[in-house]
Structure 1
Amino acid sequence: MRPVRPVLAGALLGVLALSGCGQNSSSSPASPAVSSGTGSAPAAQAAGFPVTVQAGNGSVTIARKPERVVSLSPTATESLFAVGAGTQVVAVDDQSTYPAEAPKTDLSGFKPNAEAIIAQKPDLVVLANDIDGIVAKLTKVNVPVLLEPAATKLDETYDQIGDLGAATGNKPKADEVVAGMRKRIDELAAAAPKDKNLTYYHELDTTPYSVTSSTFLGQIYGLFGLTNIADKAPDPAGGYPKLSAEFVAQADPDLVFLADTKCCAQTAATLAKRPGWSKLSAVKKDRVVELDDDVASRWGPRVVDLAEKVGEAVRKAAAD
């Protein structure tokens, strides 16, 4: 999944600025309603359409409930299925690995091909990046497009899930998902012992690249009272500094979180074999946490799964 790890990390976790992802709102009664072909215009309006969503590409109006959704964002794919729009999704990109039933194709969100996307006959396309002007290319042929860029904070995650729920006619379920996420993450954060002054290191790859507290991931860790060793990196590099092995060894973090278990086959055992790292407190005290790369690089509903892992690790370390 990660041919160039630092570039992908930036694309997924907030190096790209989020612009304009906002609240959803149904259009006024005066807006032209479009029938789905099986019901009347009033019925379409009663179902919540037309609907206008404020996305990264501005105000997008969707005339009728989409029946052929194409997702070129792994995070959006997860969110669409979570809000109950899975049966409306007809194609997803080659990086959408979850859920298993998602209709995976060779479409790419990093090298989008307008002709290949249009061939799927979509009535809604969801993207995380506007590469090669793909939004304009699709809009030109009257394909509704939602640009939902990498979230930089949890509220943006919640907002995007709401956007996708509204855009697909599944807003009640989306609201339910968001409420559940908020509740669980708040519970986990509240339960975390924050008086131990624990430090941590999050690894993106074996270079090693990491994340600072200014990133989406860094903010998640911050909810649990953890101190990020990467915040003292000589060059913060927009929140994704390249650290040296010596820097990590000297910082000696209490916890290590590996987000390169799939891409780079890293484990607690491989970490211990690195020169000088066998003496790390996290290694000696069995505080190396092996994360699912995909869960740790997306900003959708499974952020809760990440928070669960972090909360469990913090509680365990605090009890030592």
Structure 2
Amino acid sequence: MSVRFNLLPFLISLICLMLVVGACSGANNAGKSGAAGNASENTSAGTGTEGNAAKNNAASNGSGTDKAAFPRTIQTANGDVTIQAQPKRVAVVHWGYIEPMLVFHLPSIGLSLPFTEAQSSLKTEEYKPFAANFEEIETVGENTQVNMEKLLAYAPDLIIAGNATNKDIAAELAKIAPTVMIDEQATDVWTDWPALVAKFGEILGQEDTAAQYVARFNDLLKAAKEKLAGLNGSVAFVQVRDKTVWLQGTKYMPEYYDGMGLKPPASEAMTADGAEISLEGLAKVNPDYLFLGYFNYEDKSMPAATDEWEKSGVWNTLKAVKDKHVYGFKGALGLGYGPIGQTYGVKAVLDALTGEQTP
């Protein structure tokens, strides 16, 4: 009895010690898990297995830095819409909303395309890193037309549309899934994609992702403006199609004229909205620097309206031509309205005007 009595305090003390050690061990492990989580988050923007794993995890669960709270009520053109849970399968049926959507992370998206799927930019080098943000990308429309059968088969848990572009099918969309109708006048993708990206961030519960992307783009513009501060002369951008050439207006080129500080030509033809232009008309504009946004940039088998211009004596009178200040770039991207295309365009213009390579 005495032996058992003497051992009892010792056993109790031993058990208490084990409990204390276990609690400390648990606390230490929790700290290591937090550190590992931060490390994964920091490497997700890099390369390698760990970075890819973190990126894939973000793609499955939304942005790695966002803290989404659902349900949430969104103010839209069709009234307040309550989204019960963070969307996983989102159909974007406004063909102009593709690029703003691609900066986010989702398991699945369904897209209505401005062209055919074969002509889509989704497989281009510029789009590939963004397309990798999604485990699945489905096509639910082509040539600006939504395919309602494909949309129904896709079975989205949320649809994002434009109140003007998609007004004729609004009632049908609402029958398929909760639909957020963006007010296209209040949030204009053609002239202000950052506002649309912010709206998408609110809808998807990825506000941080939206803010970070816009901030990076603004940093790019700021750096470009500083580098080009000493540039003398005017800059014009033209869109080169197979049979027509369009002088780009200042209203739709804010990233270049306002953002980068470039000077538009002082010409009556240089309007805010832009217009189709002839070679003789371009000679009157006569910019010091000329950017040709070719739509056949990657497929030279397709014709370009400027092919004949370059054989003309009028072409050789242009200041930009004589000074070798004519630059070609991908018109479908660089003259586009979305975040991916404009990022490409800003870098391409900066590289051409500085002779440097922007990372």
TM superposition score normalised by structure 2? 0.62
| Greater relative CO, 1 or 2 (CA 8 Å, sep 6+) | 1
Q: Does 1:137 align with 2:172?
A: yes
In structure 2, the residue matched to 1:253 is 287
3-state SS, counterpart of residue 103 of structure 1 = strand
- Give, in angstroms, the shift of residue 142 of structure 1: 4.3
The 8 Å contact of residues 198 and 254 in structure 1, kept in 2 or not, is answered as yes
Gaps of 5+ in 2: 1-66
- Give, in angstroms, the shift of residue 172 of structure 1: 2.0
Find the aligned partners of 1:199 and 1:298 in 2 and give their Cα distance: 19
3-state SS, counterpart of residue 88 of structure 2 = coil
Provide, for residues 36-77 of structure 1, a one-character-per-residue CA deviation record: whole Å limited to 9, x for no partner: xxxxxxxxxx74112233455554432211121122345533
Find the aligned partners of 1:61 and 1:292 in 2 and give their Cα distance: 40
3-state SS, counterpart of residue 273 of structure 1 = coil
Of 315, 319, 323, the match for 1:281? 319
- Give, in angstroms, the shift of residue 247 of structure 1: 1.4
Q: Does 1:114 align with 2:148?
A: yes
CA distance 1:81–1:242, change in 2 (3 Å) = closer
Find the aligned partners of 1:157 and 1:113 in 2 and give their Cα distance: 25
CA distance 1:80–1:151, change in 2 (3 Å) = closer
In structure 2, the residue matched to 1:304 is 343
Q: Does 1:292 align with 2:330?
A: yes
Question: Which has a greater percent of helix?
Answer: 2
In structure 1, the residue matched to 2:70 is 49
- Give the AA of the match of 2:283: A
Larger radius of gyration: 2
- Give, in angstroms, the shift of residue 124 of structure 1: 1.9
Residue-pair matches, total? 266
CA distance 1:291–1:112, change in 2 (3 Å) = same
- Give, in angstroms, the shift of residue 165 of structure 1: 2.2
Q: Does 1:66 align with 2:87?
A: yes
Identity, in percent, stands at: 20
- Give, in angstroms, the shift of residue 284 of structure 1: 2.9
Gaps of 5+ in 1: 1-45
In structure 2, the residue matched to 1:162 is 198
In structure 2, the residue matched to 1:207 is 244
In structure 2, the residue matched to 1:41 is none
3-state SS, counterpart of residue 246 of structure 2 = coil
In structure 2, the residue matched to 1:83 is 104
The 8 Å contact of residues 140 and 150 in structure 2, kept in 1 or not, is answered as no
Name the stretch that deviates more: 72-81 or 263-272.
263-272
3-state SS, counterpart of residue 196 of structure 2 = helix
Find the aligned partners of 1:167 and 1:108 in 2 and give their Cα distance: 24
The 8 Å contact of residues 255 and 346 in structure 2, kept in 1 or not, is answered as no
Q: CA RMSD in A?
A: 3.4
